[in-house]
Amino acid sequence: MTHEVRIKGWCPGAWHPMATGDGLLVRVRPRLGRLSRAQVLALCDAAETFGSGLLELTSRANLQLRGVSEAGWLKLMAFLVEHRLVAAEPHDERHPPLLLAPEWQAGDATQQAAHRLQARLAEMPPLPAKMGFALDAGDAPVLGEASADFRLERAASGGLLVRADGRARGTPVASVDVAVALLVRLTHWFVDSGGRDAGRMARHAVALPDWAPATVRPAAPGAWLALGQHPRGRVFGLPFGRVPARVLRDAIAPAGVTAVRVTPWRRLLVEGAEKGDTPPADDLPDDERDTRLRMDACPGAPHCAQASVPTLALADRLSGLIEGTVHVSGCAKGCARQQPATLCLTGRAGRYDLILGGRADDTPAATGLGESDLLAYLETLDASRL
Ligand code: SF4
């Protein structure tokens, strides 16, 4: 392979890694949102051999390695290609990603749509790099909050519909084939109607074409995968969206485990795992009461070059202390959470700014706090504010 590392790709992938404070970030998109046990073992080996030993699960259900050296990247890519974890050709990674509802079953509408859409990706025009599809055709949509630009969902009547993101209603379609044809056609309409300037469907404030009338609402949203036992195995949570490779390897060690499905909710479904197979680890909890699962923290220092403060240890320390949502951000960019949080701590010049009910870049209530000042400050606050 003769490809060169591209630094600072604005939408990183495996072939287009992004430089961060601790090396390259290499992102893997599991095909159909599912990896075989052997592929997960290979990914764990890759994280330990070429990266920091941690795996991260993104809000678009991708898995990523951090801390990859430029010298090691090509060897890593050869390893990932060998284990069919990334496409052999860089241009295949350019296609828009497909996010599948994690509980899809063989032969259902979600899986059929994924196969048919994959076969037609080359018919689409080049789209802005962050654009993607949500294939969410179970009884009730579950991916409504996940990032996607065109969605396949069901109406309350059970019929299929195609919905452009940002629109409350979608276009009813008679079959998966019709849905896929409409999705492909909508990508051309998006580009032809100037959508590239908006970058995402939700920001493209243009009326939908006459041939895609948005008349039907999707069914009421369904629930996320609950932690613990599941008909296919067990569901585990990843605090702050991360898991050490050695912990994941232990979770898939039982002989009955066959595969792992990814989700956009910091949860993994380990197919074939049974209760008692593996005691839940602190790093891979299966208890909904674990408050770390509701907290957001970016990698912080030393993992990101923009960060002047560490984030993960502080987030761990705050776990269970705050009733509401918590966001610890290495800088004002706020990568880990775009919505306001009850308590947000933003690193600036080696200290923390404290924001109440806001985003990482909002006006702070207190500035320049060290960790002990911060804990003392929190004690002075009216509990109702937290
Ligand atoms: S919020 Fe800032 S410090 Fe954290 S990952 Fe994003 S750029 Fe890096």
| pLDDT for the residue 386 | 66
What is the atom index within ligand 1 of the atom nearest the CA of 331?
2
How far is Cα 251 from Cα 242, in angstroms, rounded to an integer? 14
Is ligand 1 within 6 A of the CB of residue 142? no
Report the side by side order of strands in the sheet with 366-369. 295-297, 326-329, 341-348, 351-358, 366-369
Helix H or strand E segment including 317: helix 312-318
- Taking CA atoms only, the protein residue closest to ligand 1 atom 6 is 335
Q: Cα–Cα distances in Å, from 12 out to 7, 25, 26, 349? A: 9, 7, 7, 27
Determine the distance separating the centroid of ligand 1 and the alpha carbon of 378, expressed in angstroms: 23
- Residues in CB range of 181: below 8 A, 6 or more apart: none
Angle subtended by helix axes 70-82 and 37-50, to nearest 10: 170
Which region holds residue 90: left if phi is over 0, alpha if psi is between -120 and 50, else beta? alpha
Tokens of 34: 């599912």
Determine the distance separating the centroid of ligand 1 and the alpha carbon of 306, expressed in angstroms: 6
Determine the distance separating the centroid of ligand 1 and the alpha carbon of 24, expressed in angstroms: 14
Residue ranges of the domains in the chain? Answer: 18-94, 104-203, 291-385
The β-bridge partners of 153 are 161
Q: Cα–Cα distances in Å, from 379 out to 28, 191, 315? A: 42, 53, 16
CATH (one of 3.10.290.10, 3.40.50.2300, 3.90.480.20, 3.30.70.3340) for 18-94: 3.30.70.3340
Determine the distance separating the centroid of ligand 1 and the alpha carbon of 332, expressed in angstroms: 7
Identity at 9, one-letter amino acid code: G
| pLDDT for the residue 7 | 39
| pLDDT for the residue 90 | 87
For 325-361, write each residue's pLDDT tens digit.
999 999 999 988 989 999 999 999 999 999 999 999 9
Which region holds residue 279: left if phi is over 0, alpha if psi is between -120 and 50, else beta? beta
Is ligand 1 within 6 A of the CB of residue 49? no
Q: Are strands 295-297 and 326-329 parallel, antiparallel or unpaired?
A: parallel
From the number of C-beta atoms within 10 Å of its C-beta (0-12, 13-18, 19+), residue 336 rates as buried
| pLDDT for the residue 279 | 67
The β-bridge partners of 216 are 170
Which fold is adopted by the domain 291-385? Answer: Sulfite Reductase Hemoprotein; domain 1 (3.30.413)
Tokens of 288: 């909904």
How far is Cα 183 from Cα 260, in angstroms, rounded to an integer? 28
Is ligand 1 within 6 A of the CB of residue 298? yes
Buried b (16+ CB within 10 A) or exposed e, 242-273: bbbbebbbbbbebeebbbbbbbbbbbbbbbbb
Is ligand 1 within 6 A of the CB of residue 329? yes
How far is Cα 302 from Cα 297, in angstroms, rounded to an integer? 13
CA 39 to chain centre: 19
Digitized pLDDT (tens) for each residue of the chain, 386 residues in all: 434 334 333 567 899 999 888 899 999 999 999 999 999 999 999 999 999 999 999 999 999 999 999 999 999 999 999 999 999 988 888 889 999 999 999 999 999 999 999 999 999 999 998 999 999 999 999 999 999 999 999 999 999 999 999 999 999 999 999 999 999 999 999 999 999 999 999 999 999 999 999 999 999 999 999 999 999 999 999 999 999 999 999 999 999 999 999 999 999 999 999 988 776 778 999 999 999 998 999 989 988 889 999 999 999 999 988 888 999 999 999 988 989 999 999 999 999 999 999 999 999 999 999 999 999 998 888 665 66
Question: DSSP assignment, residue 183?
Answer: H
